[in-house]
Chain A
Amino acid sequence: SQTIHQWPATLVQPVGSPLSLECTVEGTSNPNLYWYRQAAGRGLQLLFYSVGIGQISSEVPQNLSASRPQDRQFILSSKKLLLSDSGFYLCAWRVGARGYTFGSGTRLTVV
């Protein structure tokens, strides 16, 4: 079956610390993968997307980066977190005409 895994569910990190959020999908190959961020009470903002291994497109210049080391693995990183990086981060993959499947999200609080 096709599933998406995202972890951790919650994370509290100090300003200036590094970040690594991981997303993996199962049951498919060569998926389009996406990282979104949602501020409290707001819609989702597309951060990065990837159409294949090593192919990353950035939508918003910021303190974050993304990598896709394997076909079904998508990683969101930061070398030094800022307070403004706090939010709800969601990974998603496109399931063709059936829409997109989202992970359960990571709530990041930078303190």
Chain B
Amino acid sequence: SQQGEEDPQALSIQEGENATMNCSYKTSINNLQWYRQNSGRGLVHLILIRSNEREKHSGRLRVTLDTSKKSSSLLITASRAADTASYFCATVHLGSSNTGKLIFGQGTTLQVKP
């Protein structure tokens, strides 16, 4: 079943601007991950944040996690045309760490205009 809800569903910005995508989930998690998918391709892992972490950075990416609100956000700074893709959050439920089942949200489609 789908657990995550992502907001917005679609986002269009100019190159150089920042892009923020939000994800909410329903049940307690072990960790939350963000993935990127270029059109018609497989998914690429971007970043993983554990339930006891509040913020994580990787290059131009910044992820925050608020377990009290069951939400996360992905910030892409200084966006580039090459960042155009769909972005998905995915969660591993608390208690599913052995099986590692990833439950995905519906995704945010980001368009970065040159």
Contacts and interface: CB of A to CB of B under 8 A. Distances in A.
Interface stretch (A61-69, A78-86, A94-102): A94-102
A101 B2 CA distance: 20
Given A103-B42, A104-B42, A43 B48 contact: no
Contacts of B45: 98-102
Interface stretch (B11-19, B62-70, B76-84, B99-107): B99-107
Sort chain A's interface into a size bin: 20 to 34
A46 B48 contact: no
Interface of B: 2, 4, 33, 35, 40-45, 47-48, 88, 90, 98-107
9 contacts: A34-B102, A36-B104, A42-B107, A43-B4, A45-B2, A46-B102, A46-B104, A98-B48, A104-B41
Contacts of B41: 104-105
B102 A51 contact: no
A100 B88 contact: no
